[in-house]
Chain A
Amino acid sequence: MDMLEDYLRAVSRLLPKAKREDIIAELRDEILTRIESQEGELGRTLTPDETEQLLRDFGHPIVVAARYRDEPQYSVGPALYPFWIFAVRMAVILEVVISALVFFGRLMAGANPAEALGTAIGSGITGVMTLIGFATVAAWIIERKGITIAYFKTWRVRDLRFLDFAAWDWADVSDWMAARTPRPQAASHDYGAYYGWNLRQSSAGRGVSAIVAGVVFILWWVGALSFGLTPIPVDYASLHVDPGALAHVDWPALKAAVYWPVLAWSLALILFGTVILTWPRGVRLRGVIDIFMGLAGLAIALWIWTASPVANAIRVDSVQVLLQRIQAFFIQPLPIPLELAATVFLILFAFGAFCRALGGLWELLTGAPRYPGD
């Protein structure tokens, strides 16, 4: 019965160690009983071919062993699948849109069209595969760790607007282009309607967006996700852009300098999203995280302003100088002054971080959520 032992050895390798011996003993007995009963019917011993056929009927070792495993026999289960496929779809759209933008950006910057197209397709496919891979790994872990996602039970109708975007097609576009009817007045209990789009999200919606934004950003930051943004010699003049001193900045050195702080900040963003999702009522905890993230954002902005390689290019010495520059921009917009754009962006970022810290302090002190309806 060497063939049987070979077969059983193949099965046993795939079984969990603790149960291995017991299961194999039982399988051996079952198969031997079967062989004996067949031999009894035939009145002779089985030929090797017949034995092999019997084992084949019994099942492939991988299948037989898998049936004894306790964990689910799938990567994405039926409950999670709709969300998984939605995420994958979003990822594909995101990657295609960004690759297309980068492609046209390169064309405008004077790149070789064939080369630009090749890069766009190459990085697009790699990016899509990477995102699908990460979505699948996430689903796999969720299925096995028995993680329950509060969002599935606590989603709010007002969060569903993001589906408008996710599912739009040309019919929507033409609807939108046609007579735009004013939105019906929001009912009075819908507090959020008084605020902008962002503020209308519920805490669960904000948690999900924080996690998605954090994950995609980190993947890009560490280089796992590529949008084809590799440095190309940009023809600033044809883009009507004036880079000023920014053209001479050592970007790799800048990225190396902020690599870990930015990574830590993004991880904190994901943590923030997770806290919101798993513990929607933890307003004070959320406040503490907000304070830290706000202060960290301020610190990063301050460093960029004063000590980073780009500091000289984007720092302005007084409010007056800044206002003068903005005024100059409105009088003569082209070429667009990139330095000014970076300065304004940094100031807005710092202001946002400041507000975040302040809002966090408010939540910590009062225990009441900043956004009504949370």
Chain B
Amino acid sequence: MDESDLFESLRAEFRRGSLSLAVLARLRVERYGYTLRQALAEDGLDMEESTLYPLLRRLETQGLLVSEWREEEKRKKRFYILSPAGEIMLERLIEEWRAISASLEKITGEKV
């Protein structure tokens, strides 16, 4: 494995854990898959559909999201939004992320 491949794999590992947090946070407002992906991409977090949709489903089974089918732009679309349990979980995750971020700042000596 050369250096850039290695970097890619470490980077992917690094990003993987943050995806749920990003998705939950973006779903404070109701969205369907396509617009959610666009919103995340605009924030600099590109996510493949093949990752996003199964993740949405998993979060819904876990009770953190609720969804409903509704018609929009002539087609039925599935809209997702944070559930009350999801809001609590999101707060906890944000707290955790801040703690990790603070630790890393201390360790690396870099202010983000």
Contact = CB atoms under 8 A, between A and B. Distances in A.
B49 interface: yes
B75 A32 contact: yes
A250 interface: no
A246 interface: no
A38 to B, nearest CB: 12
B76 A25 contact: yes
B50 interface: yes
A216 to B, nearest CB: 37
A51 B67 CA distance: 29
A258 B77 CA distance: 66
Contact of B78 (A19, A26, A64, A67): A26
Which size bracket describes the interface of A in this complex? 10 to 19
Interface stretch (B20-28, B51-59, B86-94): B51-59
A26 B51 CA distance: 14
9 contacts: A19-B57, A25-B69, A29-B32, A29-B75, A30-B49, A32-B75, A33-B34, A63-B50, A67-B50
A30 B33 contact: yes
Contact of A68 (B48, B54, B76): B54
Contacts of B75: 29, 32
Given A34-B34, A68-B57, A29 B77 contact: yes
Given A26-B33, A30-B33, A67 B51 contact: yes
Contact of B50 (A26, A32, A33, A59): A59
Contact of B34 (A23, A30, A64): A30
A58 interface: yes
A26 to B, nearest CB: 5
Interface string B30-64: 00111000000000000011110110010000000
B72 to A, nearest CB: 10
Interface string A27-41: 101101110000000
Most chain A CB neighbours (cut-off 10 Å) among B49, B76, B77: B49
